[in-house]
Amino acid sequence: MSILLVRNVQSNILRYHNRKYARFVFISFDKIAKATAVKDWVGTILKDFQITSEATGLKDYKNFKKKKPNNGRILSLHFSAKGFRKMGFKKTDDGLPKDSAFWEGMEARGPSLNDPDKKNWEPDYKKNMEAMVLIADDSISVIEDTMSALDKSLHEKKIGEIIFYENAISKKNDSNHNIEQFGYRDGLTQPVFWNKERLLQDKWNLVLDNNRGGSYLVFRKLEQNVKLFNEKVKAMSKQIQLPESYVGARVIGRYKDGVHLEDGSYPPVKNPDPKRPTNFDEDPDGMKCPFHSHSRKMHAATYDEKQRMIVRRGVTYDDRIDKKDPEPEKGVGLLFLCYQASIENQFETLQSKWANNPDYPQKHTGIDPLIGQTDNITKRPARRVGYNTAKESLQLNGTVTLKGGAYFYAPGIPFLKDIKSYPRKDNFNSGYNIGSVGFGILSSFSSVNGNSGGFNY
């Protein structure tokens, strides 16, 4: 039963793939390509390229525990709504995913997220993104070879082309932990979908589309201006006479090494553990970790908020020409990726109702310092930055900029296998009727990418 379940879900959704290199390959189908030809091509991908499922994730975990290498190349296939339309599908069709945000697309939903105008996006992201293939491996040549073969399969069948790709690089700190471009440890707080004893299927509703074993993916290229971020933090540190590390921690909610702000200062606890689950019960007034910090703004504390948790699979990118520049102003950032069961209830709620809302979680909190988007400076109320000091406002606008993105869907593997039979009435009795499982109380949500969880099968 468990094997059947994990075999139905594409990889990197329930567990981070943890490969050294990853490439996101964006595909546009030929205008004259027929729906049946695109569906045939999906068959080719399944047969010749082997789409990896979460069964690989389970095996990886076992190998990880035994200090053995992982199970090789990962490949997963995603479609945008444009791609689905190309295959002749529409939202109202039987057996198709129903999320409205997905069918409308990121560009159309942009105004409700306060996103910058698409005319300011990178030219590649203005192209017709219809499919996206994730290829990941520990060897870059495996990725290159796979992409060439993919390109060949599109040309041979005359159905489309690769329009561009993004390379992910895992930026690490001295302790070999994943960090984002401002230098902070990232990927710490995540929902967990299996633990040592069992698959936590009751939580899978967070990430898997009801009944289909598929998941929605939000992809956003977020450029980070490291120089500007450091300058602003430095200036504030001088102004309020408190260490830069502390000012930065009040922006993120954690220190660079991931230690929770409320564990690391005034007074520091012994042996603070970055992996401990976030819990603000001891800090109800935000005196230790301010409400405006990114981690606190984005933290799901209540039962209702926990239903909105996303699975973050973001990775850093580095397109700099001068790779030695320690404080780049552009060319570096985060390829923000998150999987979820509903884009509207999860990512869009986090972005528009939490990050962009100056009155969340408390009145006059201010928008999220990193990702809050507003065209109105008065929506950035003065925030406390220093300990017990009022009104110093650290304006971080311009440090993170959306350069493009799209909404995708990673179908369940049975759907891909049977794609030619869709649209059709779903009759999922093959053991992955996840929709019938209730949420239950969601607990133990904290994990570190690739290093936690466990399972028996």
Per CB under 6 A, 8 contacts ligand HEM? no
The answer to whether 143 touches 23, Cβ cutoff 8 Å, is yes
Q: Tell me which residue of 142, 84, 164, 105 sits closest to 335, measured CA to CA.
A: 164
Q: What is the DSSP letter of 269?
A: P
The answer to whether 405 touches 218, Cβ cutoff 8 Å, is yes
Give the other-Cβ count within 10 Å of 240's Cβ: 16
Per CB under 6 A, 188 contacts ligand HEM? yes
Among 9, 159, 222, 311, binds ligand HEM (CB under 6 A): 222
The answer to whether 295 touches 206, Cβ cutoff 8 Å, is no
Among 87, 136, 242, 298, binds ligand HEM (CB under 6 A): 298
Residue with smaller CB distance to ligand HEM, 172 or 238: 172
Q: CA-CA distance, 233 to 247, in Å (whole number)?
A: 6
Give the other-Cβ count within 10 Å of 131's Cβ: 26
Residue with smaller CB distance to ligand HEM, 59 or 403: 403
Q: Tell me which residue of 272, 214, 220 sits closest to 14, measured CA to CA.
A: 214
Per CB under 6 A, 400 contacts ligand HEM? yes
The distance from CA 208 to its chain's CA centroid, rounded to whole angstroms, is 14
Q: CA-CA distance, 273 to 262, in Å (whole number)?
A: 11
CB of 220 to ligand HEM, least distance (A): 6
Per CB under 6 A, 356 contacts ligand HEM? no
Per CB under 6 A, 180 contacts ligand HEM? yes
Among 334, 396, 419, 434, binds ligand HEM (CB under 6 A): 334
Q: How far is CA 308 from CA 131, 210, 297, in A?
A: 26, 15, 13
DSSP-assigned states of every residue in 122-140 = -GGGGS---EEEEEEES-H
Per CB under 6 A, 371 contacts ligand HEM? yes
Part in contact with ligand HEM (CB under 6 A); list of ranges 133-141, 177-185, 233-241, 280-288: 177-185
Task: Round to the nearest angstrom and report the end-to-end CA distance of the chain.
Answer: 9
The amino acid at residue 70 is N
Q: CA-CA distance, 163 to 125, in Å (whole number)?
A: 10
Per CB under 6 A, 224 contacts ligand HEM? yes
Per CB under 6 A, 254 contacts ligand HEM? yes
CB of 114 to ligand HEM, least distance (A): 12
Part in contact with ligand HEM (CB under 6 A); list of ranges 192-200, 320-328, 350-358, 378-386: 350-358
Among 336, 407, 408, 455, binds ligand HEM (CB under 6 A): 336
Residue with smaller CB distance to ligand HEM, 214 or 258: 258
Give the contacts of 18 (CB within 8 A, at least 6 positions apart).
60, 64, 70, 449, 450
Phi, psi of 181 (to 5 degrees): -70, -25
Please tell me the count of residues contacting ligand HEM according to CB under 6 A: 27
Part in contact with ligand HEM (CB under 6 A); list of ranges 182-190, 195-203, 284-292, 413-421: 182-190
Per CB under 6 A, 233 contacts ligand HEM? no
Per CB under 6 A, 106 contacts ligand HEM? no
Part in contact with ligand HEM (CB under 6 A); list of ranges 110-118, 128-136, 205-213, 349-357: 349-357
Per CB under 6 A, 278 contacts ligand HEM? yes
Residue with smaller CB distance to ligand HEM, 73 or 313: 313
* Contact residues: ligand HEM, CB under 6 A: 180, 182, 184-189, 222, 224, 252, 254, 278, 294-295, 298-299, 333-334, 336, 347, 350-351, 355, 370-371, 400
